[in-house]
Structure 1
Amino acid sequence: SSGYKIEMLNNGISPLKGEEPGLEDLIKKVRSDGKFESTSDFSKIRDLDAVTLAIQTPFKDKGELEPDFGALEEGIRQIGKYLNEGILVVLESTITPGTTKNFAADILKEESGLIPGEDFALAHAPERVMVGRLIRNIREHDRIVGGINKESTDRAVELYTPVLTIGKIIPMDSTAAEVTKTAENTFRDLQIAAINELALYCEAMRINVYDVRTGIDSLKGEGITRAILYPGAGVGGHCLTKDTYHLERGVKISGSKLDYPAESASLYVLARKINDFMPQHMYNLTNEGLTSIGKKFNGSKIALLGWAFINNSDDTRNTPSEPYLDMVEKDGARVTIHDPYVSQDGSLKISQDLEESIKGADAIVIFTGHKQYLNIKASAIKKLSGHKHPVIIDGRNVIDPDAFIKEGFVYKGIGRGDKNYHEICNK
C-alpha cells in the first residue's frame, strides 16, 4: 500500500505533506549524490553492513495487553532470510521491553541459522522524533542505544555517532533502552493527562486553566520545574496512544513480582483513560452549546476543524477527531471536516476549503491547532454560518473567546471555566 512512497523517494520527493523543514531538500541531495535508494527488495540486505527497522507496533487488545506484532514479525523474518555474518540489526520501533533479546533474537536466529550477539550484532535504538521536526530531532536529540551484549552496543554506537550534530549517544542494555523509550512517552502522556484533568477542574470551578498554568509555570530557579504542558482535545499519533501499554506489558511478562499498592490501578493507565476521555468532553461541550440555543445533534451541521492529530501536519494516526466524529454522527449530526494538510483519510473525504466547510454550520469545533485557525475572524465565521448564535468549541485555545462572544457566538473551550458559562450576546 505504500509502494507509491518508494517511487516518490527515488524521484527526490518527500511523501510527507505536512511541514518538515529541510526534509525534501535532503532527499533530493542524497538522491542526486547517489547516496540513497528506496526499494522493496529485501535481498539487498546481503550487501549491507547494517539494517534498521522502524515498523508500527499497535495493540490488538489494550485491556489484555496483547500487541499486534504482525508487521514487525514479518519485517524481522524478511531480514533474517538474508542476514550475513557480521551485520548489525537495529530495531527502532517502540516495543515491549524484552522484545529485542527474546522475540527479535529468536526470529532472526530461526530464519538465518546465525547466533545473535556472536555471528551478528543486535540492538535497539528507538527513534525519538516529533512530526514537523524530523531532521532537527534526528541530528540534535540524544540517541538511546542498547545492544543485547557489549559488542552489539558498540556496533550500534558506531553506526549512530556520525549522524548527531549536537546530541550525544547514551549507551545501555537493550531492555533498558526499550524501557527508556516507552517510559518517556508514558511520562509525556501522564503530563498531558495532568493538565487535562486540571482543565476539567478549572471548568467546574469556573476559572481559566491558562491563568493557573501561568502561575504554576512561574515557579522556577534552583532546580525547580513543574514541566507543565497544555490541555487539549485529545492525544493522537502512533506513540503516546499505545506506549503505556508496552511498558505495562513489559513488567507483566518479565517474570518478576511487581511490588505495588494492592488493588490500585496503574497511574499510567489512568492517565491514558483521561486523555482518551477528552474527545468525549469535546462532545459534551458541543452538546451543552447546542442545547443552550435550543438545538440537538440530530439535524445540526457541525464543521470539524482539524483531522491531523498534531498542528501543521498531515499525520492522522489515531486522531482524537475520529471518536468525536463517530459520536456526533451517531446522534444524527451532519459533519463537514476541514484540514489544510489532509485531503483524504481512507474513504473519508476532507475539505481544504475552510469557508465552504463552515457554511451553514450550527457549531464549529476546533480539534487541531493548525496555524490557519489562529486568525479566523468571528464576524466572518458568523456570516458564513448564517446563524444568529452559532456555537464554537475551542479544543486548542486558538481563538479569542471575547471576540466570538461579542459577535453572539456560544463559546465553549477546554479549561475555560471563566468563559464557558457566559450570557449570550444578542448582537
Structure 2
Amino acid sequence: MTERKIAVVGLGYVGLPVAVSYGRAGFPCVGFDIDQTRIAELKKGCDRTEEVEDGDVLHDSLTYSSELDDLKQADFYIVTVPTPIDSARRPDMGAVLAASRTVAKVLKKGDIVVYESTVYPGATEEDCIPVLEEISGLNCGTDFSVGYSPERINPGDKEHRFETILKVVSGYDEATLDIVARTYEAVVTAGVYRAANIKTAEAAKVIENSQRDLNIAFVNELSQIFDLVGIDTQDVLEAAGTKWNFLKFTPGLVGGHCIGVDPYYLTHKAEQLGHHPQVILAGRRVNDRMGHHVAMQIIKMLMKRGRTDTPRVTILGLTFKENVPDLRNSKVVDIITELENMGIKTQVTDPWADKAEAMEEYGVTLKDTTELEPADVVVFAVSHRDYMDGGWPLVQSLLKSNDGFVVDIKSALDRATTPEGLTLWRL
C-alpha cells in the first residue's frame, strides 16, 4: 500500500491520540484544529486533556496547524470533531458539517475522508457526502471516497488506548474499505473489524453506549427502590454479583460526551423513520434525573436535622468522571442547580477542572480545597485520586461538626470505617 498522508481534523480527546499515533509511526500527518490556542499548546508539546503524555506530543512527521493550506498535503482525512446534543436533546451536527466544509475546500481526486465522530446511522452518506460534493465539485465514488470508523477512546483510561482497541472500519465500497482497513492496521495493534457497510458501523457506535446507558439506568432505578426499602444498593449488587452471569453495573451520574449523548442520536433517527423508542428514552429519563434525586436526598437530610441557619454543601468534583479534566455534560451541575434553587449554598472544588472553563460553561466558581468553608454536607461526587488518597480524614476536615452528612455518589469511601457520628448516604 502506498503510504497515506494523514490529516486529523479536530484535536480533542479523540483526535489528538489518533494524530500522535500516526506521527509516532512515522506517517506524514497534520493535526488540524480551528482552536489556535490549542494548536499553540500542542506545538509546545503540551496536551491539556492529559490523554497524551507531554513527551509524546511532538514527532518529526507530525505537524499541528489551524491553516487550511496545511491540509492540502493530505490524502486521507480523519474527522474527529465533537457531536453533542442541543438544549432540546437533538443531535448537533454543526461541527461535523463544518469540518466537512473545511475538508471539501482542499479535497482532491483519490482522497478519502473517514469520519470517527459519533453520528446516527445514515449521517455520513446522507448529510456529509453532499457537503463534500457540493463544495469540492467532485463526485463520491468516482473522484473521492469516504469511510466511517467509530471512535472508542475512553478518556483517562491508560490501558485501553487508540492502538490497543479493536477498530471497527467501513467504506463506501470494497476498494475504499480495503484502504481504510490497511491504513488503520498500520497503527492499531489490536487490529480492525470490517463492518458490512457504513450505516452498520455508525449504528454499532451508538448502540455500544446506548447499551451501557440502559444498564446504568436499571441500577439507578434499583438504587432508588432499595433506598425506599431501607437496604444498601451496593450490598444487593455484591450479593447478586456472586452469580456468574450477573452484569456488574453500578449506579451513578451519567454525563460526559458519550453515554449520556449517543442514545439521542439513535432515537433521533428512529423518530425520523416513524418509530418512537420506548426503552432507550426511558433509560435516558432515569439517568437524566439522577442529579435531582441526589439533591433531594441532601435536602431531606438537612430537613431532618432542622437547622435554622443557612446550610452549606461542599461538592468534591465537577468533571464528568475521575482523573480527567473533561467538563462536558457534567451531571454534577444538576445537583448544584437543584440545591441553589432551594436556597442552599454550595461550594465546589475540583483539582482537575479548569476554573475559567467551569465558570464559562456552567457559571460555577471552583475553589481550592484550602478555600472551602466548613460545611454541613460533603458530597463525594467524583472519585479523583486526590480525594481517594484523602479518604475519610479529608471529608471530616471539610465538615462543620462531627455529626455531619456525607453523600458518596460513587460508593468510593469505605463504609466500614465511617467515623463515629457521621451519617453516610450512598447510591
Question: Equivalences for 1:229-378 in 2 at 5 Å?
Answer: 229-232=249-252, 234-253=253-272, 255=273, 258=275, 266-295=278-307, 299-344=310-355, 345-347=358-360, 348-353=364-369, 355-357=370-372, 359-376=373-390, 378=392
Deviations for 1:248-274, whole angstroms, at most 9, x for unmatched residues?
A: 122333x5x65xxxxx85101111111
Matching residue of 2:65: 39
Deviation at 1:132, TM superposition (A): 0.9
Q: Distance in 2 between matches of 1:246 and 1:381?
A: 39
Post-superposition CA distance 1:95-150 (Å, at most 9, x none): 01101111101000000111112211201111101011268421111111112222
SS in 1 for 2:343: coil
Q: CA deviation at 1:61?
A: 5.1
Match of 1:422 in 2: none
Q: Structure 1 pair 409/135, CA: closer, same or farther in 2 (3 Å)? A: closer
Report the 3-state secondary structure (helix = DSSP H, G, I; strand = E; otherwise coil) of the residue aligned with 1:337: strand
1:55 equivalent in alignment to 2:81 = yes
Which amino acid counterpart does residue 227 of structure 1 have in structure 2? L
Aligned partner letter, 1:356: E
How far apart in 1 are the matches of 2:326 and 2:67?
27
Which blocks of at least 5 consecutive residues in structure 2 are unaligned?
1-33
**Paired amino acid for 1:314:** P
| Residues 88/271 of structure 1: CA separation in 2 closer, same or farther (3 Å cut) | same
Amino acid at match of 1:161: E
Gap change, CA 1:379 and 1:407, over 3 Å in 2: farther
Counterparts of 1:16-415 in structure 2, within 5 Å, are 16-17=49-50, 20=51, 23-28=53-58, 30=59, 34-60=60-86, 62=88, 66-133=90-157, 136-220=160-244, 225-232=245-252, 234-253=253-272, 255=273, 258=275, 266-295=278-307, 299-344=310-355, 345-347=358-360, 348-353=364-369, 355-357=370-372, 359-376=373-390, 378=392, 381-404=395-418, 406-414=419-427
Task: Report SS of the residue matched to 1:304.
Answer: strand
CA displacement 1:135-177 (0-9 Å, x = unmatched): 8421111111112222222221122111111243333311101
Unaligned runs of 5+ in 1: 259-263, 415-427
Question: Structure 2 CA distance, aligned partners of 1:380 and 1:374?
Answer: 9
- In structure 2, the residue matched to 1:261 is none
Matched-pair contact (CA < 8 Å) for 1:123–1:153: yes
Distance 1:44 1:343, change over 3 A: closer
Where has structure 1 moved over 6 Å in runs of 4 or more? none
Computed over aligned residues only, the root mean square deviation of the Cα atoms, in angstroms, reads: 2.1
**Contact 2:185/2:191 (8 A) holds in 1:** no
Aligned counterpart for 1:5 among listed residues 35, 38, 49: 38
Q: Contact between 1:53 and 1:75, CA under 8 Å: does it hold in 2?
A: yes
Is the 8 Å Cα contact of residues 216 and 226 (structure 1) preserved in structure 2?
A: yes
> Residues 382 and 407 of structure 1 are in contact (CA less than 8 Å); yes or no, is this contact kept in structure 2?
no
Q: Please give the alpha-carbon distance, in whole angstroms, between the structure 1 residues aligned to 2:261 and 2:164.
A: 25
Distance 1:379 1:60, change over 3 A: closer
Q: Secondary structure at the match of 2:65?
A: coil
- Determine if contact 1:80/1:108 at 8 Å carries over to the other structure: yes
Contact 1:343 1:352 in 2 (8 A): no
Residue 402 of structure 1: CA displacement? 4.6
Q: In 1, Cα distance between the equivalents of 2:335 and 2:203?
A: 32
* Distance 1:384-1:75 versus aligned 2 partners, 3 A rule: closer
**Alpha-carbon displacement from aligned partner over 1:265-297 (angstroms, at most 9, x marks no partner):** 51011111111111111101101211121137x
Which is worse superposed, 380-389 or 327-336?
380-389
Kept after mapping to 2: 8 A contact 1:144/1:169:
yes
Q: Percent identity?
A: 25
Would you say the 8 A contact 1:339–1:350 is kept in 2?
A: yes
Mapped partners of 2:424, 2:327: distance in 1: 26
Count of matched residue positions in the alignment of Structure 1 and Structure 2: 389
Other-structure match for 1:423: none
Tell me the distance in 2 between the aligned counterparts of 1:109 and 1:185. Answer: 31
- The alignment's TM-score, normalised by the length of structure 1, stands at 0.85
* 1:211 alignment partner AA: D
